[in-house]
Structure 1
């Protein structure tokens, strides 16, 4: 897990905005809207980590933003990333958005190979490779956008970038 806060505190406005939105969502909840409005409990992260540790699951956590490190570790270990951070759509690792998990309905199934029963909760698994295969034409059409944006941004920079530092 990452701590989510860069060492330079650049994300503080984003954090403040998210907390404000969360409070507003809480104020708007009513019996008729409670199933479509999602609010992450204030102590949710602490309870989640505590539960994982009680289950004997190793939890690694940094004090700073660690998206790249998490993606690299997941890829190396063949694991899936669970997060609400949209940055993980850009990494080539299996990714489950936490907002896609159906927590209130536990389903059961039976393994075909062993006939053993198992329980699971439904979620959406994002796979970048499958996404790219599905939307190849669209991606090929727009693949130059980030490069054009970078070139436009780079041309407005006052100081030239030495070749060895160029991306």
Structure 2
């Protein structure tokens, strides 16, 4: 579930911790890494992709990890299932991608479109380098969180889900992972849910509710105006103000169940029956995050 604006909300906060990362296991969100490495490499992407150059770039990344004593374990997505409520969001994202492809074909403008064989080249490169690689049956985020909890090592990704999972060793964001500046260690920033909850003064158990209410998978929830709960004036963009307002509103609750039930009452244009149906959906969605908070 994508929480738009979360990166920007945390950009100027004191939540991230500067660390020198080395001599550790590292779980890597493979699908996320493919996109990050490819677009960071600034390789040609409108005419099929520079696959050999991309392979060299991938090799350089994992060689650097080895030189810093980091043992990577890469997990990639398999299939994914979506509900009827989420289907519209998925279709909207697909439509945007088609429009980008059309623009690239018509004008030659560079768009963020991954050439079709990029993931295959990435996976074959890892196999050749004997980097541990696992493909999930479904989406990889929950499996990564489970392994991170078991091994007590961080996860490397840009996915906003990892701001919600309670990971013992935290989460390292790709954008702050300065592997090309490595010198026996990799400068980066570590995020933990404990620092997030302390900064925004909310109960750790409410993070799944925050992600579900702030996410863009449920159209009716997008209509709630969280900005009205801000203590002061609006800050930066409306989206950031909305997230801040939601976090302030959540402070009054101790449990996810109470927060979600209260949120349903903030949708005056939705019937009681529709609220009941949506409540059931969002309660189920929060379970995708909550299981890591308890012993397995």
Q: Same fold (TM over 0.5)?
A: yes
CA distance in 2, matches of 1:24, 1:70: 32
1:142 maps to: 250
Question: Which one is further off, 76-85 or 56-65?
Answer: 76-85
1:5 Cα deviation after fit: 0.7
1:106 to 172, 180, 197: 180
Structure 1 alignment gaps of length 5 or more: 112-117, 162-166
Structure 1 residues 132 and 149, CA, compared in 2 at 3 Å: closer, same or farther?
Answer: closer
1:87 Cα deviation after fit: 1.9
2:78 maps to: 3
Structure 1 residues 17 and 141, CA, compared in 2 at 3 Å: closer, same or farther?
Answer: closer
TM-score norm. by structure 1 comes to: 0.58
Structure 1 residues 51 and 58, CA, compared in 2 at 3 Å: closer, same or farther?
Answer: same
2:134 maps to: 60
Q: Secondary structure at the match of 2:78?
A: coil
Q: Secondary structure at the match of 2:198?
A: helix
2:93 maps to: 18
Question: Which one is further off, 4-13 or 79-88?
Answer: 4-13
1:23 Cα deviation after fit: 3.9
Deviations 1:58-108 (A, max 9, x none): 11222213432320111211233233432221102222344x2679x8224
CA distance in 2, matches of 1:95, 1:65: 18
Instruction: Point out the structure with the larger helix share.
Output: 2
Structure 1 residues 10 and 77, CA, compared in 2 at 3 Å: closer, same or farther?
Answer: farther
CA distance in 1, matches of 2:160, 2:95: 19
CA distance in 2, matches of 1:106, 1:46: 23
1:131 to 187, 196, 202: 196
Larger RCO (CA under 8 A, 6+ residues apart): 2
Q: Secondary structure at the match of 1:22?
A: helix
What does 1:15-164 correspond to in 2, within 5 Å? 15-25=90-100, 27=103, 38-93=112-167, 94-98=170-174, 100=175, 106-109=180-183, 111=184, 120=186, 125-136=190-201, 142-143=250-251, 144=253, 146-152=256-262, 153=264, 156-157=275-276
CA distance in 2, matches of 1:89, 1:39: 26
Aligned length: 146
1:134 Cα deviation after fit: 2.8
Q: CA RMSD in A?
A: 4.3
Q: Is the 8 A contact 2:177 2:189 kept in 1?
A: no
